[in-house]
Amino acid sequence: MSTYVDRVIEETRKKNPDQPEFLQTVTEVLTSVAPVVDAHPEYEKAALLERLVEPERQVMFRVAWVDDEGKPHVNRGYRIQFNGALGPYKGGLRFHPTVNLSILKFLGFEQVFKNSLTTLPIGGGKGGSDFDPHGKSDAEIMRFCQAFMTELQRHIGPNTDVPAGDIGVGGREIGYLFGQYRRVRDSWDNGVLTGKPLTYGGSLIRPEATGYGVLYYAKNVFAHENDTLEGKTVVLSGYGNVAWGAAKKIAEMGGKAVTISGHNGYVYDPDGIVTEEKINYLLEMRASKNANVKMYADKFGCQFFEGKKPYEVKADVYIPCATQNEVGMDEAKLIVDAGAKYYFEGANMPATNEALAYLQEHGVIVGPAKAANAGGVAVSALEMSQNSERLSWTSEEVDAKLNTIMTSIHDESAKAAEKYGFGYDLIKGANIAGFVKVADAMMSQGLF
């Protein structure tokens, strides 16, 4: 393999010894693109990879806020502006107690290639806080969002950096963040955030976009295999925004999602999360103060498996939609033993590199996160377009564009894999197709 790639991975390791998630994605992506790097000796002369693994800018700040009892709290806020070669930095905000630099740098790095794959003009970024929204009142969430935005607003703007949601940040939080931005800046910078509610510049289909996108991407994989989702069972993890959109589209396509999960266990619903009542209940759960996946088991009389992950349930298709590294070697073995042929990533980096290799070696087709879950950020970019022209598109129009984008991501990934001799390896294909565009743009913009 490329000695240049090896050297940069090693240097990144030495520079960031305490960032395992970031090193995981850097190793995975750079290893995949080695044949491209070898074919372009000018990259090494321009220190392209060294620049690619170093964020253009990272901001860390104090967020002080007061709870309902009047007690002050201090959290840490972040924004990583990873790469702006293709457009304004773009990527979500995550509020979760596990948030740290390693997590946000891994998410920001992945976002650069994901956004490139969408074909839309967006660079890559990510941000968030170690704030835990679980158990907080609505007023506490609002005060936290206001305190967070009071600092973040200095660093973002519709033409510089455009945050959106991720774990713990949905329409409600985006509303509070937008309100504070508007109050502090006194300017209608409508495109400064995406995932906004519909009454002030949000896009139709944005809430559904990530989950729908995973299934639109999957549709192309099924077509490649002369197969369909009709009659297939699906194991889903998570019960949040992405899992909800995925469950809705799975039901529409004639499949049956039989699990959802959270941090404390999973629920098995053998009848499937297929009725409107059940699918809508996911939204209600996610919005409640003490959100917890067991609520579904209590309401619909199904079994809750405390402390367990859903991968022990046998299915035809697996779609993780919760968090990073939920699929390790044990879970990969369960998926292979179930005889499943398909695995699509709704969450970001839900599997370890070893687990991904094991799945592929055993004939499971892997739709990687950067490609499969790019529908969310793609519709965010369409929201930016609508905000720029001060018009709103119909849901049919946005949905059709999302469908086209997901097909193009699949086709471009398959083409790139084929071109470099990797057959139908959609992981390598997505990494290569995403990388080539960013690399070309960085080379043409000179040393920066």
Q: Is residue 105 among the annotated active site residues?
A: no
The tokens of 294 are what? 């067991």
Residue 133 interface partner, choices ligand NDP, ligand 2IT, none, CB cut-off 5-8 Å depending on type: none
Shortest CB 402 distance to ligand NDP, Å: 12
Q: Would you say 310 or 346 has its CB closer to ligand 2IT?
A: 346
In angstroms, how far is CA 235 from the centroid of its own chain?
Answer: 18
Residue 90 interface partner, choices ligand 2IT, ligand NDP, none, CB cut-off 5-8 Å depending on type: ligand 2IT
Q: Would you say 86 or 321 has its CB closer to ligand NDP?
A: 321
Q: Would you say 255 or 376 has its CB closer to ligand NDP?
A: 376
Determine the Cα–Cα distance for residues 103 and 87; give it in Å rounded to an integer: 23
Closest-CA residue to 245 (of 281, 284, 211, 277): 211
Q: Which of residues 347-376 bind ligand 2IT (CB under 6 A)?
A: 348, 376
Q: Would you say 37 or 214 has its CB closer to ligand 2IT?
A: 214
Binding-site member from 267, 364, 377, 439 for ligand 2IT (CB under 6 A): 377
**Looking at 339-382, which runs of residues are DSSP E strands?**
342-344, 365-367
- The edge-to-edge listing of strands for the beta sheet with 72-83 is 57-66, 72-83, 124-129, 89-95, 161-164
Q: Would you say 87 or 255 has its CB closer to ligand 2IT?
A: 87
Count of chain residues binding ligand 2IT (CB under 6 A): 12
Residue 241 interface partner, choices ligand NDP, ligand 2IT, none, CB cut-off 5-8 Å depending on type: ligand NDP
Which one of 105, 114, 126, 309 is the catalytic residue? 126
Give residue for tokens 């967070």: 148
Shortest CB 75 distance to ligand NDP, Å: 17
In angstroms, how far is CA 135 from the centroid of its own chain?
Answer: 24
Determine the Cα–Cα distance for residues 299 and 166; give it in Å rounded to an integer: 27
Contact residues for ligand NDP, defined by CB under 6 A: 165-168, 170, 210, 238-242, 262-263, 286, 291, 293, 321-323, 346-348, 373, 376
Residue 262 interface partner, choices ligand 2IT, ligand NDP, none, CB cut-off 5-8 Å depending on type: ligand NDP
Handedness of CA 387, 391, 394, 396 (dihedral sign): negative
- The edge-to-edge listing of strands for the beta sheet with 303-306 is 303-306, 265-268, 256-262, 233-236, 317-319, 342-344, 365-367
CB 346 within 8 A of CB 246: yes
Binding-site ranges for ligand 2IT (CB under 6 A): 90-92, 111, 114, 164, 166, 194, 348, 376-377, 380
Residues identified as active-site: 126
